[in-house]
Structure 1
Amino acid sequence: MNAFLRNIWVVLLLFPLCLQAQNQKLTVSGYIKDVKNGEGLIGASVFVKELMTGTTTNTYGFYSLTVPKGNYTLVVSSVGYRKSIREIKLTEQSLSLNLELQEDGQELEEVVVKAKREDDNVKSMEMSVNKVEMKTIKKIPALLGEVDLVRAIQFLPGVTTVGEGASGFNVRGGGVDQNLILLDDAPVYNSSHLFGFFSVFNPDAVKDVKLIKGGVPAQYGGRASSILDVKMKEGNAKELEINGGIGVIFSRLSIEAPIVKDKASFIVAARRSYIDILAKPFLTGNNAGSSFNFYDLTAKVNYNIDNKNTVFLSGYFGRDVFGQDFGFNWGNSTLSGRWNHVFSDKLFLNTTAFYSNYDYALDSDLKNKRPNNAFKWSSNITNLSIKPDFTYYISPNNTLTFGGQVLTYNFKPGAATATSEGESRSFGQERKNGIESSIYVGDEWKISPKFSVQYGLRFSRYDYSSQEDFYYQRKYVGVSADFPSGYDLTYIPNTKGKTIQTYQNLEPRFSMNYNTGDNSSIKASYNRLAQYVHLMSNTAASTPLDVWTSSTNNIKPQVADQVALGYFQNFGDNMYEASAEVFYKEMQNQIDYADRANLFLNPYFEKDLLFGKGRAYGLELFVKKNRGKLTGWISYTLQRSEKKIDALNNGNWYFSRYDRTHTLNMLAQYEINKKWSFGANFAYITGVPYTLPEQQFVVEGQVYPYIPAGTRGNFRVPAYHRLDVSATKKNKKALFGKGESEWVFSIYNLYNRRNPFSIYTRPNETNPAQTEAVQLSIIGSFVPAVTYNFKF
């Protein structure tokens, strides 16, 4: 296998050089940036008018276009920017051409029409992909008036959550852990602050947001459902810029400025909630001294060494704190370093190295008042990685990508220390280690003006080892009260550092686009994704205290195969865009849990796991209005998500806890004039499946609910629906009479809906022989808010 992989690398490295030697055409290449701040523009269109062909810029604003010798008109455009038209001569040698585009706020509507590449959503290879501009996200009415990236993407088709107060999101019937969330290529394991009400992404520091639900390119891997790729701003390379906001629950401030004008810049963005500060005067007695806050810091610096080399360094650190004497905290930290190198006008390299850590801690004695009687629990997952990605621009109709990654995992599933009367005892799970190695190659080829394909292959390998002196092998012993899963574990001696289990997967990828007309196309895709990490949670909603663990000799990697077919159509000179997609996804090695499974601090938890298969399928409809005073979209998803595990539900298919049959989202933004604008969004979602007792026993007047063994999802929580509204008033000046500012007034849950989060049963207070169902609502009323944003 090692020889095979080595040969692949040789082919990948030599193939572009051979193509370059054979190609006698000339190339124009360079960077497209924002003239105001020097940020590279992602997805800007570079179009040769005479040849009716073109390309788009990559994540860093780099483009390369190879054409026959001659004189041409180059048209460069991007959404929200004025066009740049240049006459170029390609007669003797290739040309390096860097351009800067100017944003045009005074003629916004006209600019959008001109700048948007014709039928971009129809003619591009991407399907099952949603890109949401930060300008749009910032106008969406939000809880307590605070802009939130993760809550905004939940208005897109195929995206849901199990309820308010739940961490993360679900895509096409998948679990929270099946989403790879990247911040400048570093994975973020918990994307939520404040138990899911806010995300860790500071909107003032975010440059680009892309959600990939299907047709996943070969360079991505590691999760079974989706990729949320978030890119940070690089910092204003032209002048000092300050952004901020003062809200009901937290405030934020970002500063960006050049270090060396047009060569190096930085951005630093910080947020801090002050719930605990506002509540402090009202907390007395046992509640005095309670902590309930979150904070984060985001920073990035870049240096353009020369036309061929640019380096970036970015980082994130955030933490939530909750508790009084007894409490817990959790947080993410990431550090990413990147090097962009242009080998030639056709070969581009981005090398990324990153560190990522997610940890949480539980402490019964936060203030160290009872050190002789305390309980402490901690857990974390840490990554280190190196990842080179090459792009070779063969021609305007053919782009080759290839690269690889080595990613290390260090798992601390859970370690606890209990102290009683001064005597301490430690218990929990030992550390686990994993190394995920991968290589990939992909090609996007425009075969004809009507037909394009994107295909690729990814090879991934995972090596698992443990720091324990022994490991366990599952064995079937039969279902009993002591073994509800039917499995026990056999002790096997272990040599620390030795590889216990190796898994390998080939992950093919394929997408196609057939243009059926000037403004319509049919797209199809297939991808296989392998996932080697798992989130252990047997609750309805994921929480910060859930445990991440490795694939082991007992836990196989999750593998998902998905096919999708879509029709895309634009109307009214691209004013309206519409799409309809159907998808079907099969998943192997899906995990569920035996009744009464104990997952936390249990070194033997693998015996309580049950394995089977899953499937998800559905229809997604999307209609969007791109310009005019009224803009927005409507999305509808009809979906089913199911599992089949022999030991559960009599071996029949049952609804997964992420199943949502109907999801309807409507979002509208209306601009009255330059001073006032309004926004509204409405969501209707079918309730999630829930397991409740179907029978009860009465013993000596006391009722005991009974759920038959293996029952899953026998009831469904009532539907969720909510309406939010907002009004934004722009001011001419901000602080100290400079810059610009705005007031944002919003009402979350306008008509006071008490949406159910969960339902549980309990004995009736007046008649204990009867059982009553109780509905729990996280937000049971409307929530008004006001926020002041400023920029100068």
Structure 2
Amino acid sequence: MTLYTRKSVMRGMITLFLILGFIAQRVEAQHYSGRIQDKETAHALIGVEVLTERGHRLARTDDQGLFSFDYPVDSLRVILSADSYRQRRVTLYSGRVLEFRLQPLQTELQEVTITGHGGTRGNNTFGYSPADVKGIATLAGEVDVMRYPQILPGVSQGMEGGMGFYVRGAGNGNNRTELDGIPIPAPTHLFGLFSIFHPDMVGQSTFQMGGITASSGDFTSSLLQIRSRRPSARRYKGSFALSPLMIGGSLEGYITRDKLTFQVAGRSSLLRPEFLLLRLLVGKDNISGDFNPQAQDLYGKLRWEISAEHSLEALLFGSHDYFSYLPEEEPNTERNKISLGWINKALKASWLYTPSKHLTLETSVYYTDCGTRQAQVSDGDWGVHKGLMMGSEKKELALRSHLTTRIHDIDLGMGIDLRQQRFRPMVQTLSVEGNKARDWRPAFTTTIASVFAEGVYRRPHYAVQGGIRYDLFRSHERHISHNIDLRLKGSLPLTRELGVEATYDRLTQYQHTLEGLPIGWSLDLIVPASQRFRPEHADQWYLGGFWSTPDLSVSLGGYYRRLSNLTAYRSWLNQFSLHNVSWEGDITTGRGNSYGLELWIEKRQGRLTGSLSYTLSRTTRTFSELNGGQSYPFSFDRTHILNVQSRYETIHTARREQHLTLAGYLTSGNTMTIPIASYQAEELPFWNTQKGGILVPPEQEHHATTRTEMSTMNAYRLPPYIRLDLGYSFLWRREKVTHELGISIYNVLNRRNPYLIFHENGRWRQLSLLSIVPSVRWEIRF
């Protein structure tokens, strides 16, 4: 009994000492925090890893460049590591908020072999670099920074292979894409197959779905901010790349060392030369018609470092897309040449003033011009040429000033944003034997004056972020309205690895995108808000939790979004009518709702890295003039969306790297309206008289005497979408040049995923857009 008691006492004392030791360790754990910025621009750096000297990750900076963690010592030596920046060893002291600046590497971003990782924990803000999207298979083989958002939770892809994406139930036209703060309305090439941003010009990108910065406005869904790279100030660098669709290159360097630097980058499509070569090889008689696709983009930046406090920057950016098809000439047959196209033009000049590490003022002026065109030219009766062209234009002139500073433990940002926009939603040109009669639709000029302020306050056990944006909107009818947007975000760490996050966003958009086919392409008509078609509004709530270790990150949360003042065509066929140029009478207004659960899992370290995203959601639309006023599923209301990305490093040496990538996609099918019945109708009045003995084609006779009953709006769901992509990349480093070869196979399973179904000649038929598509891209950097 005594022995048993002694053993019990000993066990109790050991247990007590272990508990006290654990408590002491928790009590003695010291809090560390700080902020990391770009040394040259003073911009906050997202995704910087704070590592121990043995490589253990302690923290990662968020979208404000801030980090915090607990560690049981009074001071700690750490390594700051980020893509495209020099590593830095610094000493942290507990209880002190320190600021550090990292020097950009004087080598190209692609030469950095560290793979970037998401910017913050949670399902609302994701920071990434071009290195993160290299493993994503694309149709064009191009490294595309706009591909990354499509693999995230809460995002539904538009047309297969395209760049359109629908975030948390909103439309593609509700997203905003910015290049260094400049809005780019039509950011895609070749009907949305890939973006217009050359990968060599891109530094960091940030994609926000909730808790969005108040410095940007005029959207109701997501914000994609693309930040261009800093040109090299000490050496000349360049690249050349070739893929089946594009040829391109870049060059950067200095005009005056460490003072005046430049960068240019551009690409051009190879489809037209490839078509002409194919016609030469197989013979003109074996290829019907003339096919002329064009796609180009050009980027240029000039930066002048006047002093340590002052710098000036000028940016030029443009893109051009054109597609036409002319069938072969046949006797007694009218030929129709169909052409489509769109352009982007952007100019920006900015002044950056940094009097101290706690104060930055950036003032800029920019001008953008976006235009679209659809045309049809035909050889009519007796050889008379006639044509019809429709298009739209949007021009914007803006002045922005943004101040960032730090007061005690609060990071503050504030500024003004003045914009004048000019819309011309419809342009018509009629030609008869070369004589043109233009019917320019009226131009609509609107003005938006905005003031915004936001701040971030962080303590060891919580963080609060808030922003407010006031907009004064003057419509083309000279009607003035006032709107206040709110952006709120809070996070509460429960343990070192576990925490919760909540956001609320009130967003306003002062333009409407009239989407035709559910594609998400750049030809969608953009019209200004007015008293009749009021600005769109969105309210979004999000609540979720996150769990993170140095190797693995998991987040799970739910959202609810409410949309109002949405616009839609009464019939999307009106988008393609060459005889109807009155958009005002073709659209109606309504509302929308969306809610869902989002899961994001990411493995960051080791030879095998990857991510998994899953979304369970429901999205509806309600328009009084559609579907009898009853709510109906949105076209991209996909109940289940599952994306899996993986990358395995097969070889890694000082001179060679090889990676294998595998990606899988499984989503619910789109919804659509289908015919469910047909019946014989009364013959049209005077139908037999009008025929007058002329032979009427059977199809025309059928449509004249048969009526079709359609289902309710989007009542039919297509079969699930399934796709598997495979890729392999080779990297060779030489003394002065680096070669990279990427091989990818899109849709390895060669599955014919349905885009839509239709009933023809008594049978149901399916339209599929893409089958298996192999691609290769070679790049050399020097």
TM bucket, shorter chain: 0.7 to 0.9
Please list, as runs of the form range in 1=range in 2, the aligned pairs for 1:254-265 lying within 5 A after superposition.
254-265=250-261
Amino acid corresponding to residue 340 of structure 2 in structure 1: F
Counterpart of 2:469 (choices 434, 458, 462) is 458
Aligned to 1:238: 234
SS in 2 for 1:85: strand
* Structure 1 residue 718 displacement after superposition: 1.8
CA distance in structure 2 between the aligned counterparts of 1:586 and 1:30, rounded to whole angstroms:
36
Aligned to 2:758: 760
Conserved in 2, the CA contact under 8 Å of 1:351 and 1:389?
yes
Amino acid corresponding to residue 517 of structure 2 in structure 1: T
SS in 2 for 1:282: helix
Aligned to 2:496: 518
Aligned to 1:14: none
The Cα offsets for residues 261-290 of structure 1, whole Å up to 9 and x where unpaired, read as: 222321111111111111113332685653
Please list, as runs of the form range in 1=range in 2, the aligned pairs for 1:539-554 lying within 5 A after superposition.
539-554=517-532
* Structure 1 residue 542 displacement after superposition: 3.7
Amino acid corresponding to residue 556 of structure 2 in structure 1: A
CA distance in structure 2 between the aligned counterparts of 1:176 and 1:145, rounded to whole angstroms:
23
CA distance in structure 2 between the aligned counterparts of 1:289 and 1:611, rounded to whole angstroms:
41
* Structure 1 residue 48 displacement after superposition: 14
CA distance in structure 1 between the aligned counterparts of 2:587 and 2:267, rounded to whole angstroms:
40
CA 339–88 in structure 1, closer or farther in 2 if over 3 Å, else same: farther
CA distance in structure 2 between the aligned counterparts of 1:543 and 1:100, rounded to whole angstroms:
39
SS in 2 for 1:757: strand
CA distance in structure 1 between the aligned counterparts of 2:316 and 2:378, rounded to whole angstroms:
28
CA distance in structure 2 between the aligned counterparts of 1:292 and 1:754, rounded to whole angstroms:
25
Conserved in 1, the CA contact under 8 Å of 2:63 and 2:125?
no
Matched, 1:577 2:553: yes
CA distance in structure 1 between the aligned counterparts of 2:581 and 2:389, rounded to whole angstroms:
17
Amino acid corresponding to residue 189 of structure 2 in structure 1: H
Counterpart of 1:77 (choices 77, 80, 88) is 80
* Structure 1 residue 314 displacement after superposition: 1.5
CA distance in structure 2 between the aligned counterparts of 1:390 and 1:619, rounded to whole angstroms:
36
Amino acid corresponding to residue 384 of structure 1 in structure 2: L
Amino acid corresponding to residue 453 of structure 2 in structure 1: V
CA distance in structure 1 between the aligned counterparts of 2:87 and 2:616, rounded to whole angstroms:
40
Counterpart of 1:170 (choices 156, 166, 175) is 166
Aligned to 1:778: 769
* Structure 1 residue 434 displacement after superposition: 0.7
CA distance in structure 2 between the aligned counterparts of 1:339 and 1:190, rounded to whole angstroms:
26
* Structure 1 residue 626 displacement after superposition: 0.4
Aligned to 2:702: 702
Please list, as runs of the form range in 1=range in 2, the aligned pairs for 1:211-250 lying within 5 A after superposition.
211-250=207-246
Amino acid corresponding to residue 269 of structure 2 in structure 1: S
Please list, as runs of the form range in 1=range in 2, the aligned pairs for 1:203-602 lying within 5 A after superposition.
203-283=199-279, 284=284, 287=288, 290-325=291-326, 326=337, 327-364=339-376, 373-395=386-408, 397-421=409-433, 424-427=436-439, 429-446=441-458, 448-465=459-476, 499-571=477-549, 574-595=550-571, 598=574, 602=580
Aligned to 1:791: 781
Matched, 1:133 2:129: yes
SS in 1 for 2:674: coil
Conserved in 2, the CA contact under 8 Å of 1:725 and 1:748?
yes
CA 76–442 in structure 1, closer or farther in 2 if over 3 Å, else same: farther
The Cα offsets for residues 68-97 of structure 1, whole Å up to 9 and x where unpaired, read as: xxx9988661334664235799xxxx9998
* More moved, 505-514 vs 316-325: 316-325
Aligned to 1:689: 671
Aligned to 2:650: 672
The Cα offsets for residues 759-788 of structure 1, whole Å up to 9 and x where unpaired, read as: 2222x1xxxxx3x32211111x21122221
* Structure 1 residue 41 displacement after superposition: 7.6
CA distance in structure 1 between the aligned counterparts of 2:672 and 2:531, rounded to whole angstroms:
31
* More moved, 383-392 vs 417-426: 417-426
SS in 2 for 1:153: helix
SS in 2 for 1:150: coil
CA 199–39 in structure 1, closer or farther in 2 if over 3 Å, else same: farther
Bigger radius of gyration: 2
Conserved in 2, the CA contact under 8 Å of 1:299 and 1:316?
yes
* Structure 1 residue 162 displacement after superposition: 2.4
Conserved in 2, the CA contact under 8 Å of 1:365 and 1:371?
no
Conserved in 1, the CA contact under 8 Å of 2:47 and 2:120?
no
SS in 1 for 2:200: helix
Aligned to 2:333: none
CA distance in structure 2 between the aligned counterparts of 1:97 and 1:578, rounded to whole angstroms:
28
* Structure 1 residue 517 displacement after superposition: 0.3
CA distance in structure 2 between the aligned counterparts of 1:121 and 1:309, rounded to whole angstroms:
31
Aligned to 1:741: 739
Amino acid corresponding to residue 193 of structure 1 in structure 2: H
SS in 1 for 2:675: coil
* Structure 1 residue 543 displacement after superposition: 3.8
CA 72–179 in structure 1, closer or farther in 2 if over 3 Å, else same: same
CA 774–289 in structure 1, closer or farther in 2 if over 3 Å, else same: closer
Conserved in 1, the CA contact under 8 Å of 2:61 and 2:120?
no
The Cα offsets for residues 223-264 of structure 1, whole Å up to 9 and x where unpaired, read as: 000101111112112211112211122122111112222223
**Unaligned ranges ≥5, structure 2:** 1-33, 53-57, 69-73, 327-336, 684-700
CA distance in structure 2 between the aligned counterparts of 1:707 and 1:149, rounded to whole angstroms:
44
SS in 2 for 1:628: coil
CA 627–30 in structure 1, closer or farther in 2 if over 3 Å, else same: closer
The Cα offsets for residues 488-524 of structure 1, whole Å up to 9 and x where unpaired, read as: xxxxxxxxxxx43222211122111101001111010
CA distance in structure 2 between the aligned counterparts of 1:335 and 1:597, rounded to whole angstroms:
35
CA distance in structure 1 between the aligned counterparts of 2:299 and 2:100, rounded to whole angstroms:
32
Conserved in 2, the CA contact under 8 Å of 1:376 and 1:416?
yes
Q: Percent identity?
A: 26
* Structure 1 residue 597 displacement after superposition: 7.2
CA 96–456 in structure 1, closer or farther in 2 if over 3 Å, else same: closer
* Structure 1 residue 328 displacement after superposition: 2.6
Aligned to 1:719: 720
CA distance in structure 2 between the aligned counterparts of 1:39 and 1:244, rounded to whole angstroms:
31
* Structure 1 residue 365 displacement after superposition: 5.1
Aligned to 1:482: none
CA distance in structure 2 between the aligned counterparts of 1:594 and 1:334, rounded to whole angstroms:
34
* Structure 1 residue 677 displacement after superposition: 1.4
CA distance in structure 2 between the aligned counterparts of 1:705 and 1:238, rounded to whole angstroms:
73
Number of positions where the alignment pairs a residue of Structure 1 with one of Structure 2:
689
CA distance in structure 1 between the aligned counterparts of 2:581 and 2:726, rounded to whole angstroms:
49
CA 238–423 in structure 1, closer or farther in 2 if over 3 Å, else same: closer
Conserved in 2, the CA contact under 8 Å of 1:380 and 1:411?
yes
CA 375–504 in structure 1, closer or farther in 2 if over 3 Å, else same: same
**RMSD in angstroms over aligned alpha carbons?**
3.6
Counterpart of 2:591 (choices 613, 618, 627) is 613
CA distance in structure 1 between the aligned counterparts of 2:662 and 2:462, rounded to whole angstroms:
39
Amino acid corresponding to residue 318 of structure 2 in structure 1: F
CA 630–167 in structure 1, closer or farther in 2 if over 3 Å, else same: closer
- With the length of structure 2 as denominator, give the TM-score of the two structures: 0.81
Conserved in 2, the CA contact under 8 Å of 1:500 and 1:553?
no
CA distance in structure 2 between the aligned counterparts of 1:558 and 1:535, rounded to whole angstroms:
11
CA distance in structure 1 between the aligned counterparts of 2:59 and 2:518, rounded to whole angstroms:
48
The Cα offsets for residues 591-638 of structure 1, whole Å up to 9 and x where unpaired, read as: 223248745675643233222221111111010010110001011011
